[in-house]
């Protein structure tokens, strides 16, 4: 199928469209992973070429050799800077989400992650979906436990009523205590003034 046909199928609603969208996402992730690996290989190859050219230039032109070595060093420093930036980004934004997941889920998600920003975005989406499932399961478990507790409390009240007879009714306070006026009495006095 072509990409356009897959996109059209993914726009429809239902389980088939979700499967199609999943296939589109897998293909995009594979293409991004391949592109990232190719880009990394090309950068490493370029650094090696610059170093090789610098070695050869040392014999003929020392200044050109120094310039080539500076370029190679600049490329390596840039790659180290980006790597450090990505590690800090992961530590601040992705690691807290991953640490909220159970250990078994964490390992399976990390095993299938491609490199690059697209891989990180895919990882976060998958982790959030899994966290939602975990939270929903916990909430359902808590609610089931709540129903059971209410049933136990009702049984306990019924048992106590059977043992003690009818429960005592709480006597309400109709008038103020010891002849003091109630709020209604006070309001009536204020309106009659």
Across the range 152-172, mean pLDDT stands at 68
Confirm whether 153 is domain-assigned. no
Question: In angstroms, what CA-CA distances link 38 with 24, 33, 42, 45, 116?
Answer: 21, 8, 6, 10, 12
Confirm whether 170 is domain-assigned. no
Residue 180 per-residue DSSP state: -
Which residue intervals of 12-115 are DSSP H helices?
A: 15-60, 62-89, 95-100, 103-111
- For residue 116, the enclosing domain spans 3-141
Please tell me the chain's helix, strand, coil percentages from 3-state DSSP, rounded to the nearest 5.
85, 0, 15
Confirm whether 61 is domain-assigned. yes
As a whole number of Å, the CA-based R_g of the chain is 35
* pTM attached to this predicted model: 0.42
Confirm whether 127 is domain-assigned. yes
pLDDT at 132: 92
Confirm whether 156 is domain-assigned. no
Across the range 129-156, mean pLDDT stands at 81
- Per the structure, the count of domains in the chain is 1
Confirm whether 188 is domain-assigned. no
Confirm whether 110 is domain-assigned. yes
pLDDT exceeds 80 at position 10: no
The per-residue pLDDT of the chain, averaged, comes to 76
Confirm whether 50 is domain-assigned. yes
Work out the burial of residue 41: count CB atoms within 10 Å of its CB; fewer than 13 is exposed, 13-18 middle, 19 or more buried. Answer: exposed
Q: Mind listing the pLDDT tens digit for each residue in 31-86?
A: 666 666 666 677 777 778 888 888 888 888 888 888 888 888 888 888 888 878 88
Residue 113 per-residue DSSP state: P
């Amino acid at each position: 199928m072509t990409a356009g046909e897959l996109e059209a199928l993914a726009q429809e609603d239902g389980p088939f469209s979700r499967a199609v969208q999943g296939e589109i996402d897998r293909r995009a992730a594979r293409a991004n992973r391949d592109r990232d690996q190719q880009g990394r290989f090309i950068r490493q190859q370029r650094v090696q070429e610059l170093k090789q050219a610098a070695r050869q230039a040392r014999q003929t032109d020392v200044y050109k050799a120094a310039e080539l070595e500076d370029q190679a060093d600049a490329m390596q420093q840039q790659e180290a800077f980006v790597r450090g930036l990505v590690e800090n980004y992961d530590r601040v934004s992705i690691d807290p989400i991953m640490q909220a997941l159970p250990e078994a889920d964490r390992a399976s998600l990390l095993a299938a992650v491609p490199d690059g920003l697209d891989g990180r975005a895919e990882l976060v989406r998958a982790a959030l979906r899994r966290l939602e499932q975990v939270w929903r399961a916990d909430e359902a478990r808590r609610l089931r436990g709540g129903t059971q507790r209410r049933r136990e409390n009702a049984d306990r009240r019924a048992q106590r009523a059977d043992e003690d007879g009818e429960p005592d009714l709480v006597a309400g306070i109709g008038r103020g205590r010891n002849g003091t006026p109630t709020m209604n009495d006070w309001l009536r006095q204020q309106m009659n003034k």
